[in-house]
Amino acid sequence: MNLNLTDKIIIVTGGAKGIGEGIVHALAAEGAIPVIIGRSEEDNLKVVEAIKDKGLKVDHVVAELTRPEECKEAVQIVTERYGRIDGVVNNAGVNDGVGLENGDYESFMASLHKSVVHYYLIAHYALPALKISKGAILNITSKTADTGQGNTSGYAASNGARNALTREWAVELLKYGIRVNAVVVAECWTPLYESWISTLPNPAEKRLEIESKIPLGNRMTTTEEIANTVIFLLSDRSSHTTGQLIYVDGGYVHLDRAINPL
């Protein structure tokens, strides 16, 4: 299926690693021009070079998204460079373990800046261009907003906000024809996930325990599976879909985890 994304300019925050990297590769494969916004030029360029080696288009802007002024500058650079923005993927964030018992005001506020404040800022600064293109916004969010996790108040609050903003923006932007949706991630195998699980006793055993609770296939979701849903929701093939939270999680959140499919 042609998703009609050829030469569309799509911002992807945190597009140099994990889920963001998968989204960038999928967009480039569809003929879009994904523009990574990330803090590390080295990491950004690794992805850029890998995609350009395939003869595909991609670009990047270096920015520290926890700094509001850099969010504004990054979007300005993309707008000036291409004269348009056709879509925004808000993806960057970190499950940083700022809990209620072990946190404080400063660390909680810092956590919100890492995982949700820049979602608002990037969308806000990109909005004038999105109004012209009638583009789309896609927010990556996490199951922690639904299930809780423990010891991650900042990240859980950020994801609850991401979900709420998805529906709020979908309503506010109806008049411009801008669609806003979210993809909710549960257990997806990424370098960050691998780093986390490696800190636990018996990481291989722990992974099997987690996978046993994922109803569809008893396996982790792949970054490619997340990316495939994202690019569909960005495309005009999903032209009447807005304000939706789409769970790409093998049934982890909503299906009975005791199910043992035959």
- Which residues are tagged catalytic? 155
- Largest alpha-carbon pair distance within the chain? 55
Distance CA 73, CA 122 (A): 10
The amino acid occupying position 140 is I
In sequence order, the β-bridge partners of residue 142 are 185
| Angstrom distance (rounded) from CA 57 to CA 132 | 23
88 backbone φψ class: left, alpha, beta (φ>0; ψ -120 to 50): beta
**Rounded-to-integer distance, Cα 51 and Cα 11, Å:** 16
